[in-house]
Structure 1
Amino acid sequence: MEFRLSPEQREMVATVRAVTQERIKPRALKFLDGTFPWENLKDLAEIGITGMAIPEEYGGLGLSVLDTALVVEEVAKGCYTTAMALMPQLGVQTRILAQYAPEELKRRIFDGVIRGEYVLAVCMTEPHAGTDVANIKTNTEIKGDRAVINGTKTLISKVDEAQLFVVFTRVDKIAGREGIGCVLVDRDTPGMIRTGRFHTMGGEHLFELTFENVEVPLENLVIKGDGLKKLMSAFNTQRCLNPSISLGLAEGAFEEAVKYCRDRTAFNRPIGKFQGMRWKLAEMYRDIEIGRSMLYRAAASANPYPDPHLAALAKMYCNEMAIRVTSEAIQVHGGYGFTDEFPVSRYFRGARYGTLGGGTTETLKELVGKKIINDFPHDGFLGMGNF
């Protein structure tokens, strides 16, 4: 069996790589303080990237999960912060709105997203409910033609920049998974208060938001019931884009390590001439190629969302692989690798996020383990190992 990107995909990746390497990567260092990379987002919008996940009838490109994964991977090679800034335009919040939002909401917001002017924040995590989304406490009460939100969300990205917030909430205090819904909130809505701010080792800021009697029109209630099932289906897209960043960071670090092994000399010869360094590169390359195969297979399974277990496996592997590869790239660089001036330290900082967001490694192992116990065939692997 052979898997190849189409000529159109190769052309798209080449275009994104040129923009990333020529414009985005040279600016990467200045975003370590939490500054939002608006200029990079505009550069990507100019070539249509911010509209990739939006259906064509709303002016977007309507491209596949695999296409978006390829782009996120390429951007992450140049700048982790920019890849994270791009995620809302390509990830779960945009795809949920595209599938479930009322027509008038789509018409109102998608044009700004396509132009790179609108950023969408997703609000799921709460102080006492991260992975356990079914137990969120934030509640939306329906009062006539209004929806009133109360509760607290934490570790929310893009709060200072987002124009729209996709908030997952309980509806009318209905208990359990069935009570989860989703509401869209404009940034200037009264009662939405920033109550905490955290600077991450990757460079971006995360925030805590409190909703105190926040009122929105009833048409902003995007999902009213059975929202957890819909959320988790869409979230499998995130579980392909998150490891796309991990893969891109690993590739970027590997490219820097290869350059350094060719250019740096010790004992009168390039350090790449030493077996120890060549073996490091061989192992890094092996791990990247395994991760690429797993991720592309998971992303290609989307219809419209990726297979949950393939996505979980890809995320588990790529997240952990990126930590190993970026750490080894620092080791290749020696003391220089520990400085901000060399990109490998930034790649390592960004890689550490992967196992935490979009479902922790431990949660995904449990998901896959349950699948194995319940469904693995008694006669063993069949074909490609699907079951």
Structure 2
Amino acid sequence: MEFRLTDEQRALIAPVREMAQTTFRQRALRWMDGTFPWDNIRDLAGLGVLGMTVPEEYGGLGLPVFETALVLEEIAKVCYPTAMAVLGEAGVQTRVIARYAPEGIRARILPAVVSGDCILSICMTEPHAGTDVANYRTNAVVKHDRVIVNGSKTLISRAEEAGMFVVFTRIDGRPGREGIGCVLVERGTPGLAVTGTYHTMGGENLHEVQFNDMEVPLENLVLREDGFKRLLTAFNTQRCLNPSISLGLAEGAFDETTRYVRDRPVFGKPIADFQGVRWKLADMYKDIEAARGLLYRACWTADPFPDPFLAATAKVFCNEMAIRVTNEAVQLHGGFGFTDEYPVSRLYRGARYGSLGGGASETLRDLIGRKLAGEDLGPDGIMGLGYF
């Protein structure tokens, strides 16, 4: 077992860390009103990391899940909106296009993702159905060489900036999960409308997206049979990338806090000299390190997708750890931690998203519990699962 990053991995994240800790840190407050972080995206495109999950033949890096998670972790330490914007270029939507889209779409869209000229948006959640995919009402009807889509999606990231939408929808009204497929929709398609806007506590904007008798070519229907199963497979990757942002947020808040308590005097001595404060730091640190171990191990199983059991476990722990750690960071900053000007306030707000997106903690706990309750663990118990 090796617990150190390779020289290649360190070389990958070093320029990202430098850019994040200098340039992105100075800009972080700018994006809290919902403004999309275009400046940061262009800078990252210059490093090549927007194409982390794009295959090399389209100009990307074709990185494994672990390396992608490392990059997101570094960005999230200073800027949640930028980390989420990059997740949009490295997550499920990119993998769907790279694996299932026809060559014409791949050749046009993927190089534009690498350069930062095409932002992707995934459309899943509906006003009445989030985790409950089986009750999606958005429907795509196949008519000869066209696909006609009607319905609506809500709480959609990057909808105002997106050049292409990856839309999960029912196909020909087929009921249940088995009826779910995926359609690719380019911006400007008649019948596509971005409507309502929700400003989030993390800083980014989410939107409503409407499809009104919207027509796309049949080749844009990229998942038809077994669409839901393929979606879940891809989401195992998302369940490693989402918690990598949570881990980065917690690390960023911890770094800010250790600096603050060393410098902030109270009753004639630094806050860090009080035993109660040191114990809080110790708890924050052990939480972060436990989360890192779970997440990195889940990422390590990816071939090409992570083990669903470990990915779910890592996601639940990292998401909830980030809430605990960033909450303590705000507390240890006192009143300053409640202000926008101090990073811990922004990191705390960003941390609250993790357990909501990419599979709610309640859903994933049930997934983990069902496996543990139903699996024949053998004489060695949980160790017999072969994950250690």
Q: Same fold (TM over 0.5)?
A: yes
Q: CA RMSD in A?
A: 1.2
The count of residues paired between Structure 1 and Structure 2 equals 387
Q: Distance in 2 between matches of 1:242 and 1:304?
A: 17
Which residue of 2 is the match for residue 228 of structure 1? 228
Following superposition, the deviation at residue 6 of structure 1 comes to: 0.8
CA distance in 1, matches of 2:138, 2:55: 30
- 1:381 matched residue in structure 2: 382
CA distance in 1, matches of 2:8, 2:348: 31
1:171 aligns with 2:171: yes
Q: After the TM superposition, which residues 55-94 of structure 1 pair with which residues of structure 2 at under 5 Å, given as runs?
A: 55-94=55-94
SS at match of 1:147: strand
Question: Structure 1 residues 351, 376: closer, same or farther in 2, change over 3 A?
Answer: farther
Q: Distance in 1 between matches of 2:82 and 2:130?
A: 24
2:338 equivalent to 1:338: yes
Aligned residue for 1:381, secondary structure, equals helix
Give CA deviations for 1:71-128 in whole Å, capped at 9, x if unaligned.
0000000100000010111100001111111111100101110001111000011111
One-letter identity of the residue aligned with 1:16: V
CA–CA separation in structure 2 for the residues paired with 1:299 and 1:33: 33
Once the 2 structures are TM-superposed, how far is the Cα of residue 290 of structure 1 from its aligned partner?
0.4
C-alpha displacement of 1:378? 4.2
Counterpart in 2 of 1:258? 258
Q: CA deviation at 1:177?
A: 2.0
Q: Secondary structure at the match of 2:151?
A: strand
Unmatched 5+ residue regions in structure 1? none
Decide which moves more: 52-61 or 189-198.
Answer: 189-198
Q: Secondary structure at the match of 1:4?
A: coil
Instruction: Give SS of 1:201's match.
Output: coil
Whether the aligned pair in 1 keeps the contact of 2:160 and 2:194 (CA below 8 Å) is no
Verify the 8 A CA contact 2:377 2:384 in the aligned structure 1. Answer: no
Partner of 1:114: 114
State the SS of the aligned residue for 2:34. coil
Aligned letter for 1:223? Answer: L
Deviates more, 1:211-220 or 1:376-385: 376-385
Q: Is this contact kept in 2: 1:134–1:228, CA < 8 A? A: no
Which residue in 2 is equivalent to 1:212? 212
Residue 153 (structure 1) shift: 0.6
Whether the 8 Å CA contact 2:76–2:248 is kept in 1: the answer is yes
How does the TM-score come out when normalised to structure 2?
A: 0.98
Cα offset, 1:267, TM superposition: 1.5
State the Cα distance separating 1:384 from its structure 2 match: 7.4
Q: Which residue of 2 aligns with 1:285?
A: 285
SS at match of 2:26: helix
* Counterpart residue identity of residue 382, structure 1: M
Partner in structure 2 of residue 372 of structure 1:
372
CA contact (8 A) 1:171 1:225 kept: no
Identity of aligned residues (%): 62
C-alpha contact (below 8 Å) 1:125/1:154 kept by paired residues: yes
Q: Aligned to 2:333, what secondary structure does the other structure show?
A: helix
Report the Cα distance in structure 1 between the residues aligned to 2:174 and 2:5, rounded to whole angstroms: 46
Cα distance in 2, alignment partners of residues 225 and 174 from structure 1 = 11
Moved over 3 A (4+): 383-387
Q: Kindly state the Cα deviation for residue 270 of structure 1 after the two structures are TM-superposed.
A: 1.1
Matching of residue 35 in structure 1 with residue 35 in structure 2: yes
Q: 1:117 is paired with a residue of what secondary structure? A: coil
CA distance in 2, matches of 1:297, 1:386: 9
